[in-house]
Amino acid sequence: MVRLISRRKAVVSAASVSALSGLSACASTPGFNGNLDADVVNIPVIRARADRIDRVTVCLRPFRAAGPRLEVEQVGRKTVVHNYGHGGSGWSLSWGTAQLAIERAQFNVGQKIGVLGCGAIGLTTAIAAQQAGAKVTIYAEAAMPMVRSARASGSWTPSSRIAKTDTMSSEFSARWDVMARTSFARYQTLLGLPGNPIEWDTMYGLHATHPTPRRPDPVGFAELGDRLVDIEPQGNVIPVNDPRLPYDQVHKKPNLIFNVATYADYLMRQFFERGGRIETLTLHHPSDITALPESTFINCTGYGARALWNDNTIVPVRGQIAWLIPQPEALCSLHFDDIYVVSRRDGIVVQWLGNDMGQGFNDPNETPDPAEARKAISRLGQLYKAMGYNV
Ligand SMILES: Cc1cc2nc3c(=O)[nH]c(=O)nc-3n(C[C@H](O)[C@H](O)[C@H](O)COP(=O)(O)OP(=O)(O)OC[C@H]3O[C@@H](n4cnc5c(N)ncnc54)[C@H](O)[C@@H]3O)c2cc1C
């Protein structure tokens, strides 16, 4: 059984928090009465205060009900392989979808190919094409990190807003499996690099005792994550028996995360070291590629494909992040009620998840909402207060 702290003793002053950099609510922490189960209470302390917000960003998930588009099309004499529409899973599925796009492009070693777009999908596709022997030029309006991908949470979320259950084909379902497993395997090869672009942290899933009522998912997003139980570490569920805490169990498990600033830099360097070139240009119509020298292109324009390819099957799913100043001593992920947090080396992601899974669906507004940002931080601050911290 988990024994917990007297609330009075547990309140740690802001001064002592800052003096004890790296402070966690563990058994050895001053103010606690000892004998605590470290598995339960050793949750890193994030200083969830509005005055620590350093930016608020918005990104649009390029969602397609049928799943990402992976098809070959002829535009005049040019071959285009589409590789866009990865919803809330673009970083996670990138290496797998890149591999499948390259197989469809069928180029020869030494052939010049063009990649349209320089986000998570474009960059990984370009590198994978180089590794398969192509000479690659990326054509893009903007390159990493000035793209939507740089405004993602940076977690392994391979089935987030990736398709709708009722429109997902069995072909897509099988393809998702290949994409997810290929990517997951590739990410294991990128651990331990300088700057830790990819690393495992610990996710604390705090089960709210009195969850905020959420409406049923109005969109019907496909849930595929359970299919990866054979490769993803599952962690353990620990009961918490203290009515003073707003949660009654903790699901503690390893969580794969992407430190996007370092990772994007790593990818850009990989691309250039292999002789890659980037040309900045805006494509206004598919026929614009007929003026480019390559005969084969892989289209990784993400949400941009909606306008460029006139593809109205792409629906924007707005997502906002309130970023707190990084705390290297408090790296972790946390999910409590309607709040989702990824404390990365390059910033702390705090998201309010909304009243249902349809939050942001079909909303193309990319203007940050400061009130929503403050609300997310305040909700997180209240959680720590309930745990006994003045953050
Ligand atoms: C709040 C939020 C959190 C997220 N968190 C995660 C997460 O934790 N894990 C995860 O896996 N995914 C996450 N996602 C999803 C992920 O961000 C997307 O799936 C991903 O960014 C899509 O990448 P992309 O390369 O297709 O698009 P983009 O990053 O938008 O790149 C598109 C590229 O195409 C170029 N382009 C577009 N149109 C044109 C044009 N007409 N002419 C020339 N160039 C053009 C752009 O300049 C850019 O270079 C999140 C999304 C949101 C909104």
Average pLDDT over residues 108-131: 98
Task: Say yes or no to pLDDT of 24 above 70.
Answer: no
Instruction: Write out residues with Cβ below 6 Å of ligand 1.
Output: 59, 61-62, 84, 86-92, 117-122, 140-143, 147-149, 152-155, 157, 282-283, 300-304, 308, 319, 321
CA 33/CA 25 separation, integer angstroms: 11
CA 59/CA 391 separation, integer angstroms: 28
E strands present in the chain? 53-64, 72-75, 78-82, 112-118, 135-143, 198-208, 236-239, 247-258, 277-280, 296-299, 314-324, 332-336, 339-344, 347-352
CA 254/CA 233 separation, integer angstroms: 6
Q: Which atom in ligand 1 lies closest to the alpha carbon of residue 123?
A: 25
| pLDDT at residue 42, as a whole number | 80
Task: Say yes or no to pLDDT of 23 above 70.
Answer: no
Task: Say yes or no to pLDDT of 10 above 80.
Answer: no
Average pLDDT over residues 215-228: 94
Task: With cut-offs at 50, 70 and 90, classify the pLDDT of residue 50.
Answer: very high
pLDDT digits (tens, 9 = 90+) for 163-195: 999 999 999 999 999 999 999 999 999 999 999
CA 158/CA 120 separation, integer angstroms: 13
Q: Which of 221, 169, 203 is nearest to 360 (CA)?
A: 221
Task: Say yes or no to pLDDT of 1 above 60.
Answer: no
Task: With cut-offs at 50, 70 and 90, classify the pLDDT of residue 32.
Answer: very low
Lowest mean pLDDT, pick from 20-29, 82-91, 199-208, 276-285: 20-29
| pLDDT at residue 40, as a whole number | 52
| pLDDT at residue 41, as a whole number | 57
Beta carbons within 10 angstroms of residue 108's beta carbon: 10
| pLDDT at residue 200, as a whole number | 98
Task: Say yes or no to pLDDT of 155 above 50.
Answer: yes
Beta carbons within 10 angstroms of residue 1's beta carbon: 8
Q: For residue 7, which amino acid is it?
A: R
Residue of 59, 64, 97, 282 to mutate, ligand 1, most atoms within 8 A of C-beta: 59
Task: With cut-offs at 50, 70 and 90, classify the pLDDT of residue 225.
Answer: confident
Residue with the larger pLDDT of the pair 11 and 187: 187
Task: Say yes or no to pLDDT of 26 above 80.
Answer: no
In the structure encoding, which two tokens stand for residue 280, read together? 């900045």
Q: Which atom in ligand 1 lies closest to the alpha carbon of residue 121?
A: 25
What's the Cα-to-Cα distance from 248 to each of 158, 211, 332, 342, 388, rounded to whole Å? 28, 11, 20, 21, 16
User: What is the 194 CA–ligand 1 centroid distance (Å)?
Assistant: 25
What share of residues in the chain are helix, strand, coil (percent, to 5)? 30, 30, 40
| pLDDT at residue 73, as a whole number | 98
In the structure encoding, which two tokens stand for residue 350, read together? 């705090």
Task: With cut-offs at 50, 70 and 90, classify the pLDDT of residue 8.
Answer: very low
CA 288/CA 34 separation, integer angstroms: 68
Mean pLDDT, the chain, rounded, equals 90
User: What is the 62 CA–ligand 1 centroid distance (Å)?
Assistant: 7
Cβ atoms of 297 and 80 closer than 8 Å: yes
Please state the φ and ψ torsions of residue 162, each to the nearest 5 degrees: -100, -20
Residue of 55, 61, 70, 340 to mutate, ligand 1, most atoms within 8 A of C-beta: 61
